[in-house]
Amino acid sequence: MDNEIGETDLPPPMSDVVCPFCAMACDDLTVAHDRGGRLRITGNGCARARTLFALPALPAHCFIKGRAVPLDAALDAAAALLRNAAFPAVGGLAADTEGVSAALALAERLGAVVDHAASDSLFHGLRALQVTGAMTATFGEVRNRADLFVLFGSEFDRHAPRLFDRLVRPPTALFRDAGAARGFLIGPSDGGPGDGPAPDGFERLTADLIHAPAIAAALSQMVAGDRPHGDRVGGIAMEDLARVATALRDARFGVIGWVAATLDPAAGDVAVEAFNRLVVTANAATRCAGLSLGGKGNALGANYVCAWQYGVPLRSRLGAGPPEHDPLRYRLKSLLAEDGIDALLWLSALNGAEVPDTRTPMVVLARPGQPLPHDPEVLIPVAIPGLDHAGSIHRGDGVAALPLRRLRFPKSSGKPSAASLPTAAAVLSALLDRLPASPLPVLIRETAHV
């Protein structure tokens, strides 16, 4: 009971709070403090937000191979591990803009590969953009204008929990009847999470998403006035697809949406190319836009920071000469599977960057309570952006960097708490100060890697 405070001492509820825990970055939350010192969402928000905002601000300690140590000792051990690496990587990158920027500066000093935990989904869209271009819309335009949604994927409630509340069926909209949007859900229906009955006004068309490119291509033909060969595509009857095509032509503003994380991992870029071509075809007759959903851990923001600071996307190597981008060679999941790196710094200040189960020596900077597959060489807890400190993240439509506020503070008792932990940017800057001013010569690093 020592940590409880009286009702009269509680700060007033905070409105218009931004949630940092998925790419929708909902900015309409109302958050209050309870008598136990926890945050509680009292307005808007999803189940995930209610759970993560309510995380207790517990004391957290640094560890070296499972042994509790002071922060300075953990920083010294982390710097020694990274300093001696011949081919290191900086991954995870689930943090606010300032934390990502500091991580990339450290990678430049190390001559390290950089990649985000959610980059597979991110690069589906980037590779497709290079091939087909894209016609997209902001969340605000979709919310206020779209009257038809054709959504490819599954588990929408996990990847975009408030999709229907915020974009499809919002309480108000400027240029359409907010409650009248209709559409189709195209994807598996195997009884998994989010695969229950379709919402009112929506029809579920069951299909294996490995066939998403073929389904989208057939729809493009139908929207253009042609009829594909065969009776079915991807398990969907042609007459059912014909109804989707007719709805797209008749819509005032249609949306083709997809959850990139649920597409075929090996051919997700091909699927997104097909979606982009479908959008272009539909725009010959009406208004249509593409909408990519998902991408936790500020994945899009991390890619933006890398691009504007170094002129290349993620999956690049920094510091060992000019920035070198190679989306296949520098895919971190592949490098870890092949034992291609000898040291890894993993940043997970937000959700969406589960620590990999790898034999590679690791320095982990993680929010308190982050599950670990095993004790890493060094573990340093860091504060959570948007709860314990201010910052910014990028929303999933790519047009807005939203401000995060500091919502909880150290307890007046002086006991350590999560709210008094250092930010990821501060820890990374302290690590940078412990490293040599420049990375090893390029020739030495490349020879060591070979």
pLDDT, position 423: 95
**Residue 17 located in a structural domain:** yes
Statement to judge: residues 102 and 146 lie in one domain: no
Q: Specify the amino acid at residue 76.
A: D
Statement to judge: residues 272 and 224 lie in one domain: yes
Statement to judge: residues 168 and 281 lie in one domain: yes
Which pair of tokens denotes residue 141? Answer: 């335009």
| pLDDT in 10s for each residue of the chain, 450 residues | 444 445 556 778 899 999 999 999 999 999 998 877 789 999 999 999 999 999 887 778 999 999 999 999 999 999 999 999 999 999 999 999 999 999 999 999 999 999 999 999 899 988 888 888 889 999 999 999 999 999 998 888 888 999 999 999 999 889 888 778 899 999 987 544 445 667 888 999 999 999 999 999 999 999 999 988 889 998 999 999 999 999 999 999 999 999 988 888 888 899 999 999 999 999 999 999 999 988 889 999 999 999 999 999 999 999 988 999 999 999 999 999 999 999 999 999 998 889 999 999 999 999 988 899 999 999 999 999 999 999 999 999 988 899 999 998 766 444 445 558 999 999 999 999 999 886 554 433 343 333
pLDDT, position 195: 56
pLDDT, position 7: 52
Statement to judge: residues 131 and 231 lie in one domain: yes
Alpha-carbon distance of 445 to 450, in angstroms, equals 9
Cβ pair 346, 378 in contact under 8 A: no
Statement to judge: residues 106 and 155 lie in one domain: no
**Residue 126 located in a structural domain:** yes
Cβ pair 350, 297 in contact under 8 A: yes
Statement to judge: residues 162 and 111 lie in one domain: no
**Residue 299 located in a structural domain:** no
Work out the burial of residue 342: count CB atoms within 10 Å of its CB; fewer than 13 is exposed, 13-18 middle, 19 or more buried. Answer: middle
**Residue 363 located in a structural domain:** yes
CATH number at residue 356: 3.40.50.740
Statement to judge: residues 183 and 103 lie in one domain: no
Q: Among 235, 260, 293, which residue terminates a domain?
A: 293
Statement to judge: residues 328 and 281 lie in one domain: no
Alpha-carbon distance of 432 to 438, in angstroms, equals 11
**Residue 300 located in a structural domain:** no
**Residue 303 located in a structural domain:** no
pLDDT, position 413: 44
Number of domains composing the chain: 3
Q: Among 231, 260, 293, which residue terminates a domain?
A: 293
pLDDT, position 445: 39
CA 113 → CA 200, 234, 414, distances in Å? 46, 38, 40
**Residue 405 located in a structural domain:** yes
pLDDT, position 38: 84
Reported for 230-236, long-range contacts at CB under 8 A and 24+ positions apart, including other chains, are: 234/207, 234/208, 235/206, 235/207, 235/208, 235/211, 236/186, 236/205, 236/206, 236/207
**Residue 81 located in a structural domain:** yes
pLDDT, position 190: 55
Statement to judge: residues 380 and 285 lie in one domain: no
Cβ pair 88, 341 in contact under 8 A: yes
Statement to judge: residues 132 and 253 lie in one domain: yes
Statement to judge: residues 109 and 139 lie in one domain: no
Statement to judge: residues 139 and 270 lie in one domain: yes
CATH number at residue 134: 3.40.228.10
Q: Specify the amino acid at residue 70.
A: P
pLDDT, position 410: 66
pLDDT, position 438: 65
Q: In which domain, by residue range, is 28 found?
A: 7-53
